[in-house]
Amino acid sequence: LACNESLPSPFSARVSLQLLADVAAEAQSRTDLTSVQIDALLQMPNGIAQQGFDQSVDGSASDAALDIIFAATVANIERTGVQSDAIICLAMEALTNWASACKRKVTLSKLYQMNRGSDTFLSVIVSFLSSSAQRRAFSSAMYAEMAVIKCCQSLTACVDNSGDYGTQLRTSAVASLLQSIRSLQFIHDPVNLAVSHGWEDALAALSTLASTLAREEVDEISTCRLEGSTDLIELLLLLQQHPQHNVATP
């Protein structure tokens, strides 16, 4: 599988990403395997045949999948049109499925570690949920809202995975998210955009992301030990005032 035009592949980017999303979803749906067995299956070395990604000797199926998803996302950031919009949304759906299936491996720390040039996978997702997202010309309002929802869902799934809890990498990743609330209007700008367009599903996804981040990092945020903690608390209070019950945080 490959999502980069410079690499030979019998599949288009959309087909490759759909296959990746389906593999992880199918693994999760298996009732004849335990969660531990599913996790081990998706960590199988060289479990995904691919070229040009993840050349480390410890490379696993999930590593290869994340590399392909990351490459497809980066390749379509500056592009416009229905095809690119669809690929971005499908890439985020695939990431969500792999995070849900590989709770031990697909974590916030992993996104923070992965990079292409000066961009980390985490910073790329954050860019879709910040002030810069409004500068991207989506082909339709439907894809603009869908991109917000899919990015929220993928990031929420990775934040929710606690396999990296207590590590310095996770602390650094959380710190970068909190600092982005003020510096990049992370979550804030998409909330304003969703309110102005009446995107209730996007608002609910943004609220879930904010509350998951606060819940998983409650010790650091409640004591304001990390810069940006108060910004998240203020954001949660703002969302709590929303009349729709699945947007207002508990």
pLDDT-derived band at 235, boundaries 50, 70, 90: very high
pTM summary value: 0.87
CA angle 221, 223, 220 (to 5 degrees): 40
CA angle 115, 7, 1 (to 5 degrees): 80
- Start-to-end C-alpha separation, the chain: 42
Tokens, residue 204 = 């609910």
Whole-number Å distance between alpha carbons of 113 and 64: 14
Choose among 2, 12, 99: nearest CA to 53: 2
The mean pLDDT of 52-69, rounded to a whole number, is 70
Q: Is the pLDDT of residue 6 over 70?
A: no
- Residue 240 is which amino acid? Q
Residues whose CB falls within 8 Å of the CB of residue 38, separated by 6 or more in sequence, listed in order: 27, 28, 30, 101
pLDDT at 245: 57
CA-to-CA separations, 209 to 42, 151, 204, 235, in angstroms, rounded: 25, 10, 9, 11
pLDDT in tens, 133-161: 767 889 999 999 999 999 999 999 999 99
Helix, strand, or coil (residue 45): strand
Q: Is the pLDDT of residue 201 over 90?
A: yes
The mean pLDDT of 48-67, rounded to a whole number, is 62
Whole-number Å distance between alpha carbons of 97 and 99: 5
pLDDT at 13: 83
